[in-house]
């Protein structure tokens, strides 16, 4: 299970027009916002990636506005673990669990999850917060990530795992995020 004090949120390439054209974009978009708001409430470290922003565009404004204090890590590799700045940032969090969301599931999400597993992190993929342009690419990517050892979850399962208890002020704030 995810533990609030041991988890970081990784947002992969939520950029440009692609973010609005992936399969079930409205669903994943809503879940990206839930994950970000909950991560801020839980005080999770947040790492944001951008794949070649000069060509694909910047992180979408709805996400970047919520994360003005989180500079994106630019990359040109599909596997973010091939980027030393990324590996350093992940290590600096001191967290061993990563909750992953973003696009595209079968390219940068899949390859980055594979790299994180090779680096011995426990990786949870929010299946309703990752997507690809084609649904079958997303489905196969989720299967392959599971086969490699990633834990496939959903936004609400992951967030409620970290929340753990319903009788405190944080829960009252939390429930407004997931409703």
13 is a catalytic site residue: yes
> Given 34, 81, 89, 108, which residue is catalytic?
108
> Given 75, 81, 89, 128, which residue is catalytic?
75
> Given 13, 34, 81, 89, which residue is catalytic?
13
Three-state secondary structure of the chain: CCCHHHEEEEEECCECCHHHHCCCHHHHHHHHHHHHHHHHHHCCCEEEEEECHHHHCCECHHHHHHCCCCCCEEECCCCHHHCHHHHHHHHHHCCCEEEEEEECHHHHHHHHHHHHHHCCCEEEEEEEEEECCCHHHHHHHHHHHHHHCCEEECHHHHHHHHHCCCCCHHHHHHHHHHC
128 is a catalytic site residue: no
167 is a catalytic site residue: no
Residues acting as catalytic residues: 13, 75, 108
């Amino acid at each position: 299970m995810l533990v609030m004090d041991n988890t970081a949120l990784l947002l992969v390439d939520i950029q440009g027009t692609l973010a609005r054209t992936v399969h079930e974009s409205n669903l994943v978009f809503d879940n990206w916002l839930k994950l970000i708001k909950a991560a801020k409430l839980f005080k999770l470290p947040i790492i944001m990636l951008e794949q070649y922003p000069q060509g694909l565009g910047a992180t979408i404004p709805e996400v970047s506005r919520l994360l003005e204090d989180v500079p994106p890590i630019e990359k040109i590799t599909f596997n973010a673990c091939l980027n030393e700045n990324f590996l350093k940032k992940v290590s600096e969090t001191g967290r061993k669990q990563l909750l992953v969301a973003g696009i595209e599931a079968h390219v940068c999400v899949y390859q980055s999850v594979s790299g994180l597993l090779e680096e011995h992190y426990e990786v949870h993929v929010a299946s309703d917060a990752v997507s690809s342009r084609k649904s079958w690419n997303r489905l196969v990517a989720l299967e392959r990530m599971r086969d490699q050892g990633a834990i496939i979850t959903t936004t609400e399962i992951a967030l409620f795992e970290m929340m753990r208890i319903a009788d405190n002020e944080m829960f009252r704030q939390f429930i407004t995020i997931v409703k």
